[in-house]
């Protein structure tokens, strides 16, 4: 090959790579809300010079993907030596032949500054709807506190040293948290994309670890089974989260712009929060009901300003739970908020989880066979919620 031919081929390859990065429209197929990671949710040893395999379940497929990594809640940089994706098999195993390395600005390694994110280059990958995808990260230096999502309900696997596609993770430290990964996008192709902000009920407390049976997962499965239009589902729930103040991680009023409006390709938003605000409202339940309604109005305005639909979900009962304490005022506040959700003219509709899940004989409680601790549903309850939500969304979107 002569010098001129070499430069022409190099120019064409670089041009093709640059064009691939300019795919004009993306839609999220999976996402998780990033959080600060306290000591109790960090691995037994730091992630420095170790490799981490994490498993997620996507909602829609595509012929390309890109991955967003987050260091937003860490005080030091995180050094990523390599990342590859592959079809997940049982436990920690992957289909080796499907493995594809990701690049960042044309390089396999990337260092993410504190408070920042990094998005990979476009990667050709035959991603199937509802499939399980393994993301394997080999770290260099890492922060004292990683950026994570604590409530993964899915096992992650950690080994010493760098990892390649054929590296075994059989003898690994196992934790039920996600670290660094924040979102996966695929090319937009007319999909509806529904982003859900919520607390532990959306995050899946009471679901079955590694079975991906939270209510948004089961909603995605139900919608896919109906055929026709594709529905991407983004679960931005955080366990213990509040809307207005307190709770675990940043309250919804602070994280809404990043966690919901910051996702790609969103066409509709579901807001299912408030039970923790009301549960902790001893002595000021009426005031908290008013604050929740005002916060919801603010969310609705933000969503509509971006041309998206917004649906509110009624707050499910928590009678007989640790929040109850025989407090009539909390239940009255829940009824006040739910009445507003059902009757307001500002949102585009509502999903009545309260009606679907309450005991008709004791309406301030969940149905006994659908609950785990009288606050969170069990796996059966999440199935009921997912199927019900799918029917509601189909009706609300007029499909």
Q: Length of the chain, please?
A: 399
Q: For residues 352-370, give the mean pLDDT.
A: 98
Give the pLDDT band of residue 380 (cuts 50, 70, 90). Answer: very high
Euclidean distance between CA atoms 165 and 22, whole angstroms: 28
pLDDT digits (tens, 9 = 90+) for 48-63: 999 999 999 999 999 9
* pLDDT beyond 80 at 17: no
Round to whole Å and give the CA distance between 59 and 53: 20
CA dist 349 and 399 (Å) reads: 15
Tens of pLDDT, residue by residue over 76-99, are 999 999 999 999 999 999 999 999
pTM assigned to the model: 0.92
- The continuous run of DSSP H or E covering 399 comes out as none
What's the chain's average pLDDT? 94
Residue 180 contacts residue 70 (beta carbons within 8 Å): yes
Q: pLDDT grade, residue 207 (50/70/90)?
A: very high
Which two structure tokens, joined as six digits, stand for 174?
């196992």
Which ranges of the chain does DSSP label H, i.e. alpha helix?
3-20, 200-203, 215-225, 252-256, 275-279, 285-305, 328-343, 353-357, 379-396
Which residues make Cβ contacts (< 8 Å) with residue 9, sequence separation at least 6? 1
% pLDDT > 70, the chain:
94
For the stretch 25-41, pLDDT in tens is 999 999 999 999 999 99
* pLDDT, tens only, 305-359: 999 999 999 999 999 999 998 889 999 999 999 999 999 999 999 999 999 999 9
pLDDT of residue 307: 97
Indicate if the pLDDT at residue 8 is higher than 50: no
Task: Read off the pLDDT of each residue in 357-372 and give the average, rounded to a whole number.
Answer: 98
Q: What does the DSSP 8-state code read for residue 317?
A: P
Contact between residue 310 and residue 269 where contact means Cβ atoms under 8 Å apart = yes
Please count the CA atoms within 13 angstroms of the CA of 302 that sit on its side-chain side: 19
| Contacts for 42 with CB less than 8 Å, ≥ 6 apart | 145, 146
Q: Within a 10 A sphere around the Cβ of 6, how many other Cβ atoms?
A: 10
Q: Which residue has the tokens 């983004």?
A: 234
What is the mean pLDDT of the segment spanning 264-283? 97
The C-alpha atoms of residue 362 and residue 353 are separated, in whole angstroms, by 15
186, two tokens: 């695929």
Q: Which H or E run includes 123? A: strand 123-127
What pLDDT, on a 0 to 100 scale, did the predictor assign at position 15?
43
Contact 272, 196 (CB under 8 A): yes
Cα 298 from Cα 288, distance rounded (Å): 15
- Going by their DSSP bridges, the two strands 192-198 and 231-237 should be labelled as parallel
Query: Has residue 399 got a pLDDT over 70?
Result: no
Residue listed under structure tokens 């989260």: 241
Between strands 35-36 and 147-149, the pairing is: antiparallel
Dist. CA 372–CA 380, nearest whole Å: 10
State the helix-helix crossing angle for 328-343 and 285-305, rounded to 10 degrees. 30
Does 278 have pLDDT greater than 80?
Answer: yes
Annotate 146-159 with three-state secondary structure.
CEEECCCCCCEEEE
Which among 363, 365, 364, 383 has a CA at the least distance from the CA of 373? 365
């Amino acid at each position: 090959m002569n010098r001129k031919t070499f430069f022409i081929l190099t120019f064409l390859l670089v041009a093709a790579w640059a064009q691939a990065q300019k795919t004009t429209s993306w839609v999220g197929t999976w996402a998780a809300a990033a959080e600060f990671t306290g000591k109790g949710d960090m691995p037994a040893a730091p992630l420095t010079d170790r490799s981490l395999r994490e498993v997620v379940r996507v909602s829609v497929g595509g012929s390309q993907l890109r991955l967003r990594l987050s260091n937003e809640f860490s005080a030091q940089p995180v050094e990523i030596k390599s990342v590859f994706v592959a079809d997940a098999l049982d436990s920690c195993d992957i289909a080796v032949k499907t493995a594809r390395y990701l690049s960042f600005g044309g390089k396999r390694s990337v260092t993410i500054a504190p408070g920042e994110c990094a998005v990979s280059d476009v990667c050709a990958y035959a991603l199937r709807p509802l499939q399980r995808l393994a993301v394997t990260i080999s770290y260099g230096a890492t922060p004292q506190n990683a950026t994570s999502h604590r409530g993964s309900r899915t096992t992650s696997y950690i080994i010493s040293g760098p990892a390649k596609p054929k590296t075994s993770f059989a003898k690994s430290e196992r934790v039920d948290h996600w670290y660094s990964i924040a979102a996966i996008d695929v090319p937009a192709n007319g999909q509806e994309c529904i982003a859900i902000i919520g607390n532990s009920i959306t995050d899946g407390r009471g679901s079955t670890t590694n079975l991906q049976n939270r209510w948004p997962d089961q909603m995605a499965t139900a919608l896919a089974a109906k055929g026709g239009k594709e529905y991407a589902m983004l679960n931005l729930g955080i366990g213990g989260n509040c809307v207005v103040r307190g709770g675990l991680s940043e309250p919804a009023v602070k994280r809404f712009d990043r966690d919901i409006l910051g996702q790609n390709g969103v066409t509709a938003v579901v807001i299912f929060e408030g039970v923790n605000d009301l549960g902790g409202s001893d002595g000021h339940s009426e005031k908290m009901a008013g604050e929740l309604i005002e916060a919801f109005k603010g969310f609705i305005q933000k969503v509509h300003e971006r041309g998206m639909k917004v649906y509110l979900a009624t707050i499910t009962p928590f009678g007989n739970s640790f929040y109850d304490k025989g407090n009539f005022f909390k239940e009255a506040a829940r009824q006040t908020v739910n009445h507003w959700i059902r009757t307001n003219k500002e949102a585009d509709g509502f999903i009545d989880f309260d009606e679907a899940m309450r005991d008709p004989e004791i309406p301030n409680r969940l149905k006994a066979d659908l609950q785990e601790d009288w606050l969170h549903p069990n796996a059966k309850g999440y199935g009921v919620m997912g199927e019900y939500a799918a029917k509601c969304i189909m009706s609300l979107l007029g499909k």
